[in-house]
């Protein structure tokens, strides 16, 4: 834990959101093909899961692990756990990923060449909700990082 015992609430919220998203992705693996469909992974991923192929589970597990580590870096930067290396760089990259993913929803609605994008276009509510969640998490990371920048080295 940092010597400054004041934890940053924005980074704590970002961490909790990342951990919740990581758990949701594990739930998708357990839930199977219907969950892949409902959470927007696409029909191809759902069909591979129906066939018992490992690729959907491995990809979803990788996303879950990435989200888990984002949560750990948020806790570290918040001052809630011990210092992890490269906190500034890690948080900047995490912010770029979340804000980038959040803006994809709007872009997807204007693209129609790719079959997967066409599939997502038929689910505008999913795009809106998932993109809004990603932007909100990215903003929590951004505000928290801005507030803690000087304490992070």
Helices assigned H by DSSP within 32-114: 33-38, 43-50, 55-78, 87-108
Q: Are 87 and 148 in contact (CB under 8 A)?
A: no
Q: How many CA atoms lie within 13 A of 118 on its CB side?
A: 5
**Dihedral angle computed from the Cα positions of residues 54, 60, 62 and 68, in that order, rounded to the nearest 10 degrees:** -140
Q: Are 145 and 115 in contact (CB under 8 A)?
A: no
Note the pLDDT tens digit of each residue in 49-82.
999 999 999 999 999 999 999 999 999 999 999 9
Q: Where are the domains of the chain?
A: 9-151
Q: Which residues of the chain have pLDDT under 50?
A: none
Supply the pLDDT for residue 2.
53
Supply the pLDDT for residue 117.
73
Question: What is the rounded CA–CA span in Å between residue 153 and residue 83?
Answer: 10
């Amino acid at each position: 834990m940092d010597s400054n015992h004041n934890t940053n609430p924005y980074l704590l919220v970002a961490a909790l959101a990342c951990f919740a998203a990581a758990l949701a992705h594990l739930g998708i693996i357990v839930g199977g093909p219907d969950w892949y469909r409902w959470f927007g992974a696409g029909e191809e991923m759902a069909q591979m899961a129906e066939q018992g192929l490992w690729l959907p589970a491995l990809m979803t597990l990788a996303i879950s692990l990435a989200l888990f580590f984002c949560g750990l870096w948020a806790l570290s930067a918040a001052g809630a756990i011990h210092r992890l290396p490269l906190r500034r760089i890690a948080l900047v990259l995490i912010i770029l990923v979340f804000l980038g993913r959040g803006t994809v929803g709007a872009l997807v609605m204007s693209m129609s060449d790719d079959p997967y994008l066409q599939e997502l276009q038929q689910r505008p509510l999913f795009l809106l909700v998932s993109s809004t969640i990603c932007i909100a998490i990215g903003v929590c990371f951004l505000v928290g990082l801005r507030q803690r920048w000087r304490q992070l080295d």
